[in-house]
Amino acid sequence: MPYGSWINDLPTGFFLVVHITAFALGAGFAWLAYKRRLTLLSSAFSLFAVAELVYMTYHLDWTVFQPEHTIAEVLDLSAFVLLFAAAVYSTVHRSALEMTNA
């Protein structure tokens, strides 16, 4: 028995609660970032929310092909890259503003 196989014994409802919660958080943060006109952050959180929807389609057995998990992982990776880019941009932009004000 492989290590971690116990996760397969959990009911589908557990996975749906996890992904619905993650989707709600991603969509909520995307909405807040959109209202503040933080384009990179709103895009990152939107991609994360879409990835959670893709995960849910798998757990609901709406899609039964392997690439959906890969698609969700690519969306998550893209969201992570955009989140990192937004953090770097805000840090560099803030430093540039401090240099011009000094």
Give per-residue pLDDT as tens, 53-72: 998 888 787 877 678 888 99
Q: If we measure between CA atoms, which residue out of 50, 52, 53, 41 comes closest to residue 80?
A: 41
Name the pLDDT band for 97 (thresholds 50, 70, 90).
Answer: low
Q: How many angstroms separate the CA atoms of 36 and 18, rounded?
A: 27
Predicted pLDDT at 12: 85
Number of other CB atoms surrounding residue 61 within 10 Å: 8
Number of other CB atoms surrounding residue 37 within 10 Å: 8
Residues contacting 27, CB < 8 A, separation 6+: 45, 46, 49
- Mean pLDDT estimate for the chain: 87
Q: If we measure between CA atoms, which residue out of 87, 79, 86 comes closest to residue 55?
A: 79
Residues contacting 44, CB < 8 A, separation 6+: 30, 33, 78, 79, 80, 82, 83, 86
Domain count, the chain: 1
Decide if pLDDT at 1 tops 80. Answer: no
For residues 46 and 13, the answer to whether their CB atoms sit within 8 Å is no
Domain that holds residue 85: 5-101
